[in-house]
Each structure stands twice: as C-alpha cells, then as structure tokens.
C-alpha cells in the first residue's frame, strides 16, 4: 500500500526561508537601490532618520541576508591573506634577562 504525503507549499521548512518574506525583502532592496540611484534626495542625510541609503538599501539587505541565515554566496574563495592564516601564528621567543639582585 502506497502512502502519500501532502505537503503545504507555504509551510516553513527549517532549511529554507519563508517565500513571502523573501519576496518582500527582495523587492524592498531593489526599490531602495532604485531610489538611491534615481532620486538625489534619497542620497541625503536627515536629522530625523540619518543617512537615507542606510535605511533604503543597507537595512533591508541585512534583513534579507539574515533571513537566509547569514549564508555567504556560493563560489566565494578565500583571498591570499586569508589563505595564509590557516597555520598557527608564530610566537616570539623572549630574550632571557638576568635579574639584578635585590637589596636587602
């Protein structure tokens, strides 16, 4: 006897982010980028909000990245400096100094 499982396509799985929230955050990032590129006032700083590109692009982008659990894009390679740091750091040998005798 075959068993069939019906899965809800909108169910949140632990390995995948919510589809609707992903779509909303992606659109917020794209709209913020478009505003910053096309509207000069969106590149300004206000007393009430501060630097607008941070709120229009930076914060939605970080929220979108956090939704994907801070995974880095695939295909990233370590740079030369990061590749060299895999071995333990060399330690300096302290020169032994002779201590002067204390006066009694």
**pLDDT above 90 (res 90):** no
In a domain, 1, yes or no: no
Q: What is the pTM of this model?
A: 0.55
In a domain, 28, yes or no: yes
pLDDT at site 68: 86
* Count of domains forming the chain: 1
In a domain, 2, yes or no: no
In a domain, 41, yes or no: yes
In a domain, 92, yes or no: no
Higher pLDDT, 3 or 68: 68
Mean pLDDT across the stretch 35-48? 93
- The C-alpha torsion from 81 through 86 and 88 to 92, rounded to 10°, is -10
**Could you tell me what percent of the chain has a pLDDT over 90?**
42
- Length reported for the chain: 104
- The C-alpha torsion from 63 through 52 and 37 to 26, rounded to 10°, is 20
| Residues 6 or more apart whose Cβ sits within 8 Å of residue 90 | none
Range of the domain at 50: 19-71
């Amino acid at each position: 006897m075959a068993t069939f499982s019906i899965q809800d396509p909108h169910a949140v799985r632990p390995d995948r982010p919510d589809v609707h929230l992903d779509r909303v955050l992606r659109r917020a990032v794209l709209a913020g980028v478009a505003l910053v590129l096309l509207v000069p006032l969106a590149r300004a700083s206000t007393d009430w909000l501060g630097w607008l590109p941070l709120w229009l692009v930076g914060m939605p982008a970080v929220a979108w990245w956090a939704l994907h659990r801070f995974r880095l894009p695939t295909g990233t390679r370590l740079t030369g400096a990061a590749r060299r740091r895999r071995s333990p750091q060399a330690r300096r040998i302290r020169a032994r100094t002779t201590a002067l005798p204390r006066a009694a």
